[in-house]
Amino acid sequence: MPRKNNPKIAQDSTKQQISTSADDLLLAALERGGDTSKTGRHLMTFKEGAAEAGLQALQSRQGLRVANARDFDAQAVSFEQTGDADAIVFPEIGVALVSGEAAASHGLTTEATIAEDSPVHSIDPEYFMFVAGISPNDYLKGFLRAAQTIYADLGEQAAAEEAEVTPAVVGATWGLNACRVPPSNFSGNGIKVAVLDTGFDLGHPEFAGRSFVTNTFVGQPVQDLHGHGTHTTGTACGPKTPPGAIQRYGIGFQSQIFVGKVLTNSGSGTQAQVLAGMNWAIANRCAVISMSLGAQIPVQPSYTAAGAAALTAGCLIIAASGNASNRPGSIAPAGAPANSPTIVSVAALDNLLRVAPFSNGGKVDIAGPGVNVFSSWPRPILHKTISGTSMATPHVSGCAALLAQSNPALRGASLRSRLLATARHLPLPVTDVGAGLVQAP
Amino acid sequence: MTNEAKQPMVITVSGDRPIHDIADDLRAAGFDVDQVLESIGSVTGSAHPKNADRLRGVKGVVDVSQDHPVDIGPPGATIS
């Protein structure tokens, strides 16, 4: 909503207070679009030994409300307790964090010219920080970006050559190839696929123009600040030809995506929230309901009943068996809801079609690729490679969507039978992989 | 009344009776109804644990279980 009293201030800068949580900052950045790597706040670095002078300047000359890290016990700053402060100074490191609004209204942005006698050394944008998972694709992405830049510098001809070469080189993920997705003639067109997870990055550029129906059951916006839901949705429903040098990672590229946020941005939820999501997906007659979640608990009557209701309504619920095993020493039983007889339980395989060490056993119906799975991730990261029965599940869900499209009679129980009957048999125990590796029609 | 706190519970019902009638009887039996999930035959909410047997006695109730936390795998792991 535009602020009428001060048009100079960007409309979203009010959300970029010192006390604003990282989640809310990220949410605001994703709503803004564009460069989502910056929080909208600014970091002011003072010259050596000039922190005190800098603090004075912010307070007296700029008239800002400035909090001081020294005022917190052991300087353990609690950002929530900074109230309406415009800035907070960290004297030990000679840095101040300035709110988006204060920076905009006082000209304290990166473009500002700094006087020679100023205590300020530089003003820079504050960037988001993410968990530093060792992800080979992030390195690869960096390399590809560098290569693209070099190509661009060499002129248009080189860029055109690159465009011709990439598709053949890029191909599809190992998981899609193992499930024989690329040669399939089906796209999931006309099939509703519900993914009950941590939500989805609705502004992910590779999903522009896609049809989404969304709902949240956890009191947080559907926008995925965790990443898990964006990853699983990417595998089940992602694009056929992602732009640039990105391999194909999505199966039902023309399916209609139902995003049910049943887990919070910290990746947790309650059974009641999950049941509410299942109820919604069935009420919307989603032919496929993908659930990369669970708990190591016995069979729950509520999930079994929900699975039965789904089959009656022509829907099929597909769930992760769980990651509580540590093979070969320990094989944990499938968790709930996958352990319910009315729900398809999915185990995870690696690229040599071995059971993943973490994959649960016992009540397993089918297996999917679940080790080093490349898929979408919320902006600005865009892609990530992770492992789990959570990643195997959407491979089965995506293939189920293609099967459902291949024959309108395949719904609910008949879809389940066909899914299991067409799986690739593997020389492994049924209690580990069920009917075998899921195959696209 | 007891000091014992109410606990979140999940109640599974049969299709023999309209679910909203069952929900009304559950309320009368001391269940704070949160959601009536008609498509899957579930009623969620909370009640004192000592009331669980009374809830089980409501006609059409198949199961009364405590609500469980759900997640995506070992927290913080790269496996999920």
- Tell me the mean pLDDT per 10 residues along chain A, length 441: 37 66 78 76 82 86 85 71 84 80 84 82 74 39 51 48 42 97 97 97 96 92 95 98 93 97 90 93 96 92 93 97 93 95 97 96 97 95 94 98 98 98 97 98 98
For residue B77, the one-letter residue type is A
Residues in chain A with CB shorter than 8 Å from the CB of B62 are: 301, 305
Residues in chain A with CB shorter than 8 Å from the CB of B41 are: 305-306, 309
Q: Give how far Cα A13 sits from Cα of A102, A114, A311, Å.
A: 9, 23, 48
Residues in chain B with CB shorter than 8 Å from the CB of A391 are: 80
| Structure confidence at residue A286 (pLDDT) | 97
Q: Is B44 on the interface with A (CB under 8 A)?
A: yes
> Looking at the 3D structure of chain B, how many domains does it have?
1
Instruction: Please tell me the distance from the alpha carbon of residue B55 to that of residue B51, in angstroms, as a whole number.
Output: 6
Q: Output the pTM of the full model.
A: 0.77
Instruction: Please tell me the distance from the alpha carbon of residue A72 to that of residue B17, in angstroms, as a whole number.
Output: 60
For residue A391, the one-letter residue type is M
Instruction: Please tell me the distance from the alpha carbon of residue B35 to that of residue A271, in angstroms, as a whole number.
Output: 12
Which is the catalytic residue, given A13, A42, A86, A197?
A197
Q: Has residue B72 been placed in a domain?
A: no
For B19, the enclosing helix (H) or strand (E) is helix B19-28
Q: Has residue B19 been placed in a domain?
A: yes
Instruction: Please tell me the distance from the alpha carbon of residue A17 to that of residue A19, in angstroms, as a whole number.
Output: 5
- Name A295's bridge partners: A336
Instruction: Please tell me the distance from the alpha carbon of residue A438 to that of residue A369, in angstroms, as a whole number.
Output: 9
Give the residue from B12, B40, B56 with the most A CB atoms within 10 Å of its CB, the best one to mutate: B40
Compare CB distances from A302 to B12, B38, B75 and report the shortest one's residue: B12
Q: How far is A19 from chain B (nearest CA, A)?
A: 25
The two three-digit tokens of residue B23, written as one number: 């929900």
Q: Domain A172-433 adopts which CATH fold?
A: Rossmann fold (3.40.50)
| Structure confidence at residue B2 (pLDDT) | 47
φ, ψ of residue A126 to 5 degrees: the values are -85, 130
State in Å, rounded, how far the first CA of chain B is from the last one.
43
- Name B10's bridge partners: B44, B65
Q: Is B71 on the interface with A (CB under 8 A)?
A: yes
Q: Has residue B35 been placed in a domain?
A: yes
Q: Which of A428, A424, A425, A404 is nearest to A416 (CA)?
A: A404
Q: Has residue B1 been placed in a domain?
A: no
Answer yes or no: are the C-beta atoms of A191 and A260 closer than 8 Å: no
Instruction: Please tell me the distance from the alpha carbon of residue A292 to that of residue A440, in angstroms, as a whole number.
Output: 19
Q: Which of A179, A220, A174 is nearest to A197 (CA)?
A: A220
| Structure confidence at residue A169 (pLDDT) | 46
Cβ contacts of residue A60 below 8 Å, gap of 6+?
Answer: none
Q: Which of B78, B76, B79 is nearest to A134 (CA)?
A: B78
What's the per-residue H, E or C state across chain A?
CCCCCCCCCCCCHHHCCCCCCHHHHHHHHHHHCCCCCEEEEEEEEECCCCHHHHHHHHHHHCCCCEEEHHHCHHHCCCHHHHCCCCEEEECCCCEEEECHHHHHHCCCCCCCCCCCCCCEEEEEEEECCCCCCCCHHHHHHHHHHHHHHHHHHHCHHHHHHHHHHHHHHHCECHHHHHCCCCCCCCCCCCCEEEEEECCECCCCHHHCCCCEEEEECCCCCCECCCCHHHHHHHHHHCCCCCCCCCCECCCCCCCEEEEEECCCCCCEEEHHHHHHHHHHHHHCCCCEEEECCEECCCCCHHHHHHHHHHHHCCCEEEEECCCCCECCCECCECCECCCCCCCEEEEEECCCCCECCCCCECCCCEEEECCCEEEECCCCCCEEEEECHHHHHHHHHHHHHHHHHHCCCCCHHHHHHHHHHCCECCCCCHHHHCCCECCCC
Q: Has residue B2 been placed in a domain?
A: no
| Structure confidence at residue A75 (pLDDT) | 66
| Structure confidence at residue A158 (pLDDT) | 41
Active site residue A204: no
Burial of A413 (0-12, 13-18, 19+ CB in 10 A): middle
Compare CB distances from B68 to A198, A267, A297 and report the shortest one's residue: A297
Cβ distance B63 to A301 less than 8 Å, yes or no, reads: yes
Active site residue A390: yes
**ipTM greater than 0.95:** no
Q: Has residue B22 been placed in a domain?
A: yes
Q: Has residue B62 been placed in a domain?
A: yes
For residue A29, the one-letter residue type is A
Tell which phi-psi region holds residue B76, choosing left (phi > 0), alpha (psi between -120 and 50) or beta. Answer: left
Three-state DSSP class for B5? coil
Q: At what angle do helices A301-312 and A271-283 cross, to 10 degrees?
A: 10
Instruction: Please tell me the distance from the alpha carbon of residue A399 to that of residue A252, in angstroms, as a whole number.
Output: 7
Q: Is B16 on the interface with A (CB under 8 A)?
A: no
Which is the catalytic residue, given A226, A228, A231, A383?
A228
What Rg, from alpha-carbon coordinates, does chain A have? Answer: 25
Cβ distance A313 to B39 less than 8 Å, yes or no, reads: yes
CATH of the domain at B57: 3.30.70.80
Instruction: Say which DSSP state B31 is in.
Output: -
Q: How far is B3 from chain A (nearest CA, A)?
A: 24
Domain that holds residue B25: 7-66
